[in-house]
């Protein structure tokens, strides 16, 4: 009788396994909530892209403005360091030349920055919130601002890198013999 009970249990288990295999493994899922806004047209996508580019270019104008504003204090600080090192008998010619080139580049970049700021302030094709009002004007404004920022980057970029390299070389050449650092 035990065998019959075992056979019946196995038969029930096999039947349940076959029934379970026939059923789908996933439950019924509710459809995702529908977005109440209609799909955007191609024009709306492109204006969103223009607005994103506009915001990025405005951040670039702000960055260059901050860089130019801070440069006078930075130049003064580096000049003080050069004067002190020169008074201590160290060779500061390369460092002074790099600083002079950087200062000249920053002075030349001032009008370029003002032009970029003027383009941003006029914001032709964009409203005050950065939303596109006239697509063609917005594209032209972005191109003009991008070109102006590119010119600024070219004007300041290389002299800035050269100044940093000169400071680094000066520090490496003038480290104390004990390796404790300092200039």
- The pLDDT tens digits of the residues spanning 73-102 come to 999 999 999 999 999 999 999 999 999 999
Domain contains 50 = yes
What's the CA gap between 62 and 38, in Å, rounded? 36
> What pLDDT score does 176 carry?
75
Q: Which residue has the higher pLDDT, 68 or 41?
A: 68
Buried b / exposed e along 142-156 (16+ C-beta atoms within 10 A): bebbbebbeebeebb
Is residue 35 scored above 50 in pLDDT?
no
**Domain presence at residue 122:** yes
140 lies in some domain? yes
- Long-range CB contacts (< 8 A, 24+ apart) of 164-167? 165/98, 166/94, 166/95, 166/97, 166/98, 166/99, 167/78, 167/95, 167/98
Number of domains in the chain: 1
In a domain, 80, yes or no: yes
pLDDT of residue 27: 47
Q: Domain for residue 36, yes or no?
A: no
7 found inside a domain:
no
Domain span including residue 168:
43-173
- For residue 30, is pLDDT > 50? no
């Amino acid at each position: 009788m035990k065998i019959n009970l075992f056979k019946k249990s196995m038969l029930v288990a096999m039947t349940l396994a076959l029934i379970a295999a026939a059923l789908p493994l996933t439950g019924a899922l509710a459809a995702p909530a529908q977005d109440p806004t209609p799909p955007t047209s191609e024009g709306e996508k492109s204006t969103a892209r223009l607005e994103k580019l506009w915001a990025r270019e405005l951040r670039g104008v702000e960055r260059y403005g901050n860089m130019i504003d801070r440069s006078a204090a930075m130049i003064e600080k580096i000049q003080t360091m050069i004067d002190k090192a020169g008074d201590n008998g160290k060779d500061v010619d390369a460092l002074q030349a790099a600083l002079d080139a950087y200062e000249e580049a920053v002075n030349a970049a001032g009008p370029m920055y003002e032009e970029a700021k003027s383009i941003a302030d006029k914001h032709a094709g964009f409203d005050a919130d950065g939303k596109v009002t006239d697509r063609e004007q917005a594209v032209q404004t972005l191109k003009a601002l991008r070109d102006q920022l590119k010119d600024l980057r070219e004007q300041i970029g290389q002299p800035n890198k050269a100044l940093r390299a000169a400071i680094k070389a000066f520090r490496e050449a003038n480290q104390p013999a004990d390796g404790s650092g300092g200039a």
